[in-house]
Amino acid sequence: MADQPGRERRRKVAAATNALRDLRVELAVLNHRVGNQVELKDLDFDCLDVIARDGPISPSALADRVGVHLATMTGILNRLEENGWITRDRSASDRRAVVVASVPARQRQLFEAFGPMNTRMGRIWDGYADDELDLIAGFLARTVAAGRASADEIG
């Protein structure tokens, strides 16, 4: 019976890992369905999210961030610009450089599409104390960092 605490720990780690895998799948399905609703391909949607949160951003920095070749990124940005999701402008600090930014009116369209999920998440967050939210946010930040480091290792 001395191994019982180790076994219980492995069971809990496996349950948490499986829950993260389930979450990844469900969020991918949600994003895919919202993307279809607003006519965005999955990778285009991912790029738009990075642009909206981290932009204005250069095309090369965006390509590095999402792990695609710059030529692929050019095609993605062309589609996003043609459909009114982004603008391309000259950088304020280097007039030769181009940066891309999201279009606020189109971002509101996405926010509305995610309204039901945002409402459900609000209800979930309401069930946690501030210190629990801090713990969850810290866990998720460390998980994101682990995922980014693992992706960078693969190259």
**pLDDT, tens digit, 9 for 90 and up, residues 39-90:** 999 999 999 999 999 989 999 999 999 999 999 999 999 999 999 999 999 8
Confidence (pLDDT) at 18 = 97
Confidence (pLDDT) at 110 = 92
Decide: helix, strand or coil at residue 100.
strand
30 burial (CB, 10 Å; 0-12 / 13-18 / 19+) is: middle
- Name the amino acid, one letter, at 75: G
pLDDT (tens digit per residue) in 86-131: 999 987 777 788 999 999 999 999 999 999 999 999 999 999 999 9
Confidence (pLDDT) at 2 = 54
Confidence (pLDDT) at 55 = 87
- Residue 1: pLDDT above 60? no
Confidence (pLDDT) at 96 = 80
Could you give the residue ranges of the DSSP H alpha helices within 55-103? 59-66, 70-82
